[in-house]
Structure 1
Amino acid sequence: MGRILAIDYGTKRTGLAVTDEMQIIASGLTTVETKALLAYIKTYLASENVETIVVGLPKQMDNTASESEVYIQKFLKELVKLAPEMPIVRVDERFTSKMAFQTMIDSGLKKKQRKNKALVDEISATLILQSYLSSL
């Protein structure tokens, strides 16, 4: 088995999460500036055994695509060029940012630490990945 890489795409920063090789545990990996994302993924795929990439699918409450989906579609075209054989799965990411923030509160992080948007993005990617694992 290979790892599963999850991406919480943002126009400025993108949160990444990954499973262990047995695909049991979802863990935050890092947050990357979006302009450096494809280079980071290329390096990561060259050094790790990744089986699937999961990308968040942002939707409005009425189930329509959110405004950020336009940017994600552009990114997905580049990702397919980078890794044409890699399966890419989309997972509904509604509420992940709110859940990530609540997770930070529940884990006892101070208010200053909770303002770290990079950490929110990484936790959001982890929640997207956990949602995908739960659906398997």
Structure 2
Amino acid sequence: MRLMAFDYGTKRIGIAVTDPLQIIANALTTIHPNTILEFLKEYLVSEQVETFVVGMPRQLDGTDSQSASHVVGFIRLLKKTYPDIPVVQVDERFTSKMASAVIAQSGLRKGKRQEKGLVDTVSATIILQSYMESRNFI
């Protein structure tokens, strides 16, 4: 079964998934928040997801950032809609900066590097990767 991670934003949600053996995190897509339930409904018809991993925006001191309330609402929606799939929160501080750095070093054309959706999917992949790494050290 796969793990699925979300980099939630009010304009876009970056989504990443693992392979079925949960070895590699892969960027999947970026979608508008209004279409997330429709997307998940279609995706879960053909793929099994063991856990949802959601990036939680935090300030440098570890407290919730201003956008955290939107993420909390998203988590509530996931739990209500898919009560059998656990939802795990991961600190997402610096993931957008890390994603931008990875993209800048990737060799992509400048126009492609500046696509905001690309940052969101790479951020979701970093969130998923950090969750997978933390799980392996426990």
TM range (shorter): over 0.9
Partner of residue 57, structure 1: 56
Letter in 2 for 1:113: K
1:20 aligns with 2:19: yes
Provide the alpha-carbon RMSD of the alignment. 0.9
Q: What is the alpha-carbon distance in structure 2 between the residues aligned to residue 89 and residue 56 of structure 1?
A: 9
CA offsets, 1:24-56, max 9 Å, x none? Answer: 000000000111112111221222011011000
| Further displaced range: 75-84 or 53-62 | 75-84
The Cα of 1:21 is off from its aligned counterpart by: 0.5
Letter in 2 for 1:94: R
Runs of 4+ in 1 over 6 A off after TM superposition: none
Q: Share of identical aligned residues, percent?
A: 53
The Cα of 1:88 is off from its aligned counterpart by: 0.6
Partner of residue 123, structure 1: 122
* SS of structure 2 residue aligned to 1:16: strand
Letter in 2 for 1:28: A
CA offsets, 1:40-82, max 9 Å, x none? Answer: 1122122201101100011000111011111111111111111
Count residues in correspondence. 135
Asked if structure 1 preserves the Cα contact closer than 8 Å seen for 2:79 and 2:86, the reply is no
* SS of structure 1 residue aligned to 2:10: coil
Q: What is the alpha-carbon distance in structure 2 between the residues aligned to residue 47 and residue 89 of structure 1?
A: 22
* TM-score (norm. length: structure 1): 0.96
Asked if structure 2 preserves the Cα contact closer than 8 Å seen for 1:42 and 1:82, the reply is no
Asked if structure 1 preserves the Cα contact closer than 8 Å seen for 2:2 and 2:48, the reply is yes
1:90-129 → structure 2 map (5 Å cutoff): 90-129=89-128
* TM-score (norm. length: structure 2): 0.94
* SS of structure 2 residue aligned to 1:135: helix
Q: What is the alpha-carbon distance in structure 2 between the residues aligned to residue 75 and residue 45 of structure 1?
A: 18
Asked if structure 2 preserves the Cα contact closer than 8 Å seen for 1:12 and 1:35, the reply is no
Structure 1 gap ranges (5+): none
